[in-house]
A and B are shown apart, each in its own frame.
Chain A
């Protein structure tokens, strides 16, 4: 399953996720990719080990209150038992969305509330903190996204179907990390609809005047 993934997260993104400093929208793309990719899960583990090594340094330790241990034990006594989390789907039921994404959508693909934007493309913006935005995109087979560049970082994770641009073919689990240097026109492969999770921390740069006008209405 996971060894088919060809396009992975960058070290900078994994370090940002491990240190807890990414915008929530990016956290969602990272967590969703890792749910599908053991390679990046292991890389994340090594970046978390860096955090473990930083925390383990005695030189910087700060004294806790004298009664801290007693207070913590009282906290433990008073807390409800750790609720055993019941998984929302049985493992045999194959879902399109991994668990972190299902948490944001409130279900699997059939629970998405799509809005049409243009050319048969549909989107659903997911609620996150405002420092970046994340949306689901449904691009009909063979359709192209408008030609665009990037001001900041754009992460595009494929969940179903596939798209192609100058950087190659992106299928389920693959993630494209685009920045200022990349200008592209992603085109969905002919056939099935391409469903992507896309996050941006700055508006995209469109070439044509028409997409730029449309941008004001759809908020990409």
Chain B
């Protein structure tokens, strides 16, 4: 069971790569089938009506195609990356405000992410997802409320109880590597 899930997860990054390199429509269709219904659910839970959610979902998926070259699998899983695109669309369409983004780290000479690092990051992401499923119901609901916009930042408790340590150090390593490559 685990093996299947991990193999599947690993595939998403490869599919994004095929969209980027080969403009592969079959790879895009596979990503679409998996992620579009999830993006739509996220947008509806965030307060979008059905029609707006449908429209925004298509725009989010089109952005995935257009920005496939920006995806860095050593810093985020495909789900996480798509989540950030959907979140930004939500801020734009539902909250109608600008979204200041951090200055991005430019790609260094080592543009090719290290496969072992990519693998470990994907595994950490899956571990996080599993750990979240095991959280007590009350705490889980609280996290969902925070992400779907039903809690203000001052209502979010500082201690979330989320096991973020390992994934954070993983991302930190990828950033260090990137900084290092930049010289």
Contact = CB atoms under 8 A, between A and B. Distances in A.
Interface of A: 10-13, 15-16, 18-22, 24, 26-28, 30-32, 34-35, 38-39, 41-58, 60-65, 68-69, 71-73, 75-76, 79, 81-82, 87, 91, 98-101, 103-104, 128-129, 152-153, 179
Contacts of B67: 82
Contact of A51 (B54, B75, B84, B96): B84
Nearest to A65: B54
B128 A53 contact: yes
Given A42-B175, A128-B97, A49 B125 contact: yes
B26 to A, nearest CB: 11
28 contacts: A11-B160, A12-B156, A15-B160, A20-B88, A20-B95, A21-B146, A38-B176, A48-B76, A48-B83, A49-B125, A52-B79, A53-B125, A54-B83, A54-B143, A58-B38, A60-B38, A61-B37, A61-B41, A63-B37, A64-B37, A64-B40, A64-B57, A68-B32, A72-B58, A72-B61, A75-B59, A129-B98, A153-B154
A72 B32 contact: yes
A11 B179 contact: no
Contacts of B154: 12, 152-153, 179
Interface residues on B, range: 35 or more
Given A49-B80, A76-B62, A38 B175 contact: yes
A218 to B, nearest CB: 24
B53 interface: yes
Given A15-B160, A63-B37, A68-B57, A52 B172 contact: no
Interface string B155-183: 01111101010011101100110010000
Interface in B59-115: 59, 61-62, 65-67, 69, 75-77, 79-84, 86-88, 90-91, 95-103, 106
Grouping DSSP codes into helix (H, G, I), strand (E, B) and loop, the B interface class, with mixed when no group exceeds half, is helix
A22 B149 CA distance: 9
A49 B132 CA distance: 11
B42 A56 contact: no
Grouping DSSP codes into helix (H, G, I), strand (E, B) and loop, the A interface class, with mixed when no group exceeds half, is helix
Contacts of B171: 41-42, 45-46
B168 A46 contact: yes
A219 B78 CA distance: 44
Given A38-B176, A50-B128, A62-B41, A12 B168 contact: no
Given A12-B158, A34-B102, A38-B175, A49 B76 contact: yes
Given A38-B172, A50-B162, A52-B82, A24 B100 contact: yes
B155 to A, nearest CB: 8
A100 B158 contact: no
B39 interface: yes
A60 B38 CA distance: 7
B179 A38 contact: yes
